[in-house]
Amino acid sequence: MPSVVGLLEQREVVARRHVDELREEADRIQAELVVAERDWKEWAIARSRVGEVLAPAEETEHGHDQADRTAPTADGQAEEASSTIEAAKAKSQVPVWREGLAWSALSVDYQRILTALADRARLGQGPLTCQEMAALFGMDVVPARVEALRSKAKRLVARGWLAEPAPGRFTLGQSVSGPADGS
């Protein structure tokens, strides 16, 4: 008859293998998610660019100020930017940063990252890593949480809200300032 300790060790090995398999699957899915999000962002950018090109000539003659207040729809008509911002918030899309764009255009998760980095800048402290952000936000500092934050931070960098002066270290973008002034 096998010993109790031997049986426990066998069950532990089986459980450890199962955890390892699940981690490998989670890593694979995370990698697929990154690729799918990149493709999705590229299509959203393409749609936005086509919308700009197809915008009525009157809108493009007024310059960037008019484009900031309105967004072209599929039929070429202008729609108020507030509904575009609401759509971005509902889908957690990150609009490209531009002067005067309020932080409220971002979902709460993105705003929280910007607020943390704005506080650091205000206090004269340096960039934050995603591990530090996770700890600051009271999250468990585990790979899944850290990678989720990294994905959001990288998205903010790609859209001009944040800068990454060194790999994995994030600060506010050069022209981005605190939420109080609407930028």
The pLDDT assigned to 179 comes to 60
Task: Give pLDDT tens digits for 133-155.
Answer: 999 999 888 999 999 999 999 99
Task: Give pLDDT tens digits for 57-87.
Answer: 544 444 444 444 444 444 444 444 444 444 4
Say how far apart CA 33 and CA 23 lie, in whole Å: 15
Where do the structural domains in the chain lie, given as residue ranges? 97-183
Residue 133 vs residues 116, 118, 119, 128: alpha-carbon distances, Å: 8, 13, 12, 7
The pLDDT assigned to 80 comes to 40
CATH 1.10.10.10 fits 97-183, yes or no: yes
Mean pLDDT, residues 116-136 taken together:
90
> How many C-alpha atoms does 146 have within 13 Å on its Cβ side?
13
Mean pLDDT, residues 162-176 taken together:
88
